[in-house]
Structure 1
Amino acid sequence: MRVNPGVGAGHHEKVTTGDAPQFGVPYDRAAELCATARERGFDLVGLHAHAGSGISGEDLSAHERLVERVAALEREVSVEFVAVGGGFGVPYRPEEPPLDIDAVAETTRAAFDCEATLAVEPGRYVVADAGVLLTETRVVKPTEAATVVGVDAGMTTLLRPALYDAYHEIRSLAPGAGERDRRACLVAGPVCETADVLGRERSLPAPERGDLLAVGTAGAYGYEMASQYNSRPRPAVVTLGGDVVARRETLSDLTRLEDPPRRHDT
């Protein structure tokens, strides 16, 4: 049973699910609903709650309160396991310290005062740093505000900057980039929306057409949130060893699922 713990946390207001009414049954009704479910023949084996996504060090108190509340509920209803969600954050900026996962573990164990099996969901923490988005510079346009770097990836490839105003580190992989003067750059995608920006006010080696840029920490909520919006095929996913995990889409993939009406002879 998904329980709303009334405790929310996360990197953005759009992902603090623990106190949003659409997620889970209200905490003060959960015990009664568990009893009703069992009376009606359901095999109730676990409880689940989730505070939000991208929980960092200052949010640990919210995570602790969630664990305490769900553990107290388990002592009342008795189930096999309790899943306390995850959403453990990772540093997206170079100056940000990594999450003290040992402190998270210690806090969770101390707050989990019940006999059920504990389950956590550390998805972002595991995979965020495992993915990098590679994009090619197609346009370089000097303006008074910034040097605009138009690339072939954008909000259809990595939605987080447009959706959450999220920061992803961007570095140039161009040969000899370290010898170039640096420029204040606006890295923008090809979609016709002003939100299609991967990075603003980024200090990059003077960009040139054809330069490859690496957009970091793209392993979580990157490809999974990619879309074909604006008729943009999704990119390939390739391992460091060169294995293709997901092939690059083609233009024909954009219409593959369409079933146009057949013409009838008159």
Structure 2
Amino acid sequence: DEIRRQGFEVSYLNIGGGLGIDYYHAGAVLPTPVDLINTVRELVLSRDLNLIIEPGRSLIANTCCFVNHVTGVKTNGTKNFIVIDGSMAELIRPSLYDAYQHIELVSPPAPEAEVSKFDVVGPVCESADFLGKDRELPTPPKGAGLVVHDAGAYCMSMASTYNLKMRPPEYWVEDDGSITKIRQAETFEDHLRFFNGL
């Protein structure tokens, strides 16, 4: 109202995004895009405004996961590490701003598997190459699958070829379990095409 009183024409209201998801998988009930719209519905209607909302992360973050293989388990005497083939190059959120991503093994562990606290780290030569810290997980065997959940937002869109880690393929999984590859894995040859004379 104040903006219009000053002579400006206002035809839309952009309330942005910022809606989160339950990254900790703790059963938290968070506001939905509909909840956010309902908080301003009457205002928008009474002032004849077009409403813009940017709910991207809340819609797609939990629709994808980042699947990896365990390449080894090690310790430095005070800390245990699960080393995987994935890295900060594919999912930079944890190392960039200490974002939490839920992590678990793909298959149920053996009954005798010891549960310990691990940092889940990648093969990139950076101390910041981690996907999770101090995670209580069963000790996995080499080759075990490890999934990093909630990678639908800001995973592939922020991925890089840092340390010559080529971007992985992406797959679409239907409700019936059928799988379709929707993005090819990048190869070193793909990378070389960006350079002249190589």
TM-score, structure 1 normalization: 0.66
User: Unmatched 5+ residue regions in structure 1?
Assistant: 1-70, 262-266
What is aligned with 2:182?
245
1:91 to 18, 22, 29: 22
Q: Within 1, Cα distance between the matches of 2:25 and 2:50?
A: 36
SS in structure 2 at match of 1:202: strand
| CA shift digits 1:11-58 (9 cap, x unpaired) | xxxxxxxxxxxxxxxxxxxxxxxxxxxxxxxxxxxxxxxxxxxxxxxx
Task: Mark the CA change 1:99 to 1:110 in structure 2 (over 3 Å): closer, same or farther.
Answer: farther
Q: Within 2, Cα distance between the matches of 1:108 and 1:145?
A: 52
SS in structure 2 at match of 1:86: coil
User: Unmatched 5+ residue regions in structure 2?
Assistant: none
What is aligned with 1:27?
none
Q: Within 1, Cα distance between the matches of 2:130 and 2:150?
A: 16
Q: Within 2, Cα distance between the matches of 1:194 and 1:236?
A: 26
Alignment of 1:4-153 (within 5 A): 72-73=2-3, 76-95=7-26, 97-101=28-32, 102-110=34-42, 112=44, 114-153=47-86
2:194 aligned with 1:257: yes
* Greater relative contact order, per chain length (Cα 8 Å cut-off, separation 6+): 2
Q: Within 2, Cα distance between the matches of 1:188 and 1:74?
A: 54
What is aligned with 1:228?
161
Structure index of larger Rg: 1
SS in structure 2 at match of 1:253: helix
Judge conservation of contact 1:84–1:120 (CA < 8 Å) in 2: yes
Q: Identity, % of aligned pairs?
A: 34
The amino acid of 2:54's aligned partner reads: E
Q: Within 1, Cα distance between the matches of 2:68 and 2:76?
A: 22
SS in structure 1 at match of 2:179: coil
Judge conservation of contact 1:178–1:205 (CA < 8 Å) in 2: no
| CA shift digits 1:96-126 (9 cap, x unpaired) | 6131225423323255462121111110010
Of Structure 1 and Structure 2, the greater helix share is in 1
The amino acid of 1:108's aligned partner reads: V
The amino acid of 2:105's aligned partner reads: S
Alignment of 1:134-213 (within 5 A): 134-177=67-110, 180-213=113-146
SS in structure 2 at match of 1:208: coil
| CA shift digits 1:165-202 (9 cap, x unpaired) | 00001001135446522111111011111111101110
SS in structure 2 at match of 1:252: helix
Task: Mark the CA change 1:233 to 1:72 in structure 2 (over 3 Å): closer, same or farther.
Answer: farther
Structure 1 vs Structure 2 CA RMSD: 2.1
Q: Within 2, Cα distance between the matches of 1:136 and 1:73?
A: 56
Q: Within 2, Cα distance between the matches of 1:211 and 1:156?
A: 21
The amino acid of 2:8's aligned partner reads: V
SS in structure 1 at match of 2:15: strand
| CA shift digits 1:128-160 (9 cap, x unpaired) | 000100011112113322221111111101010
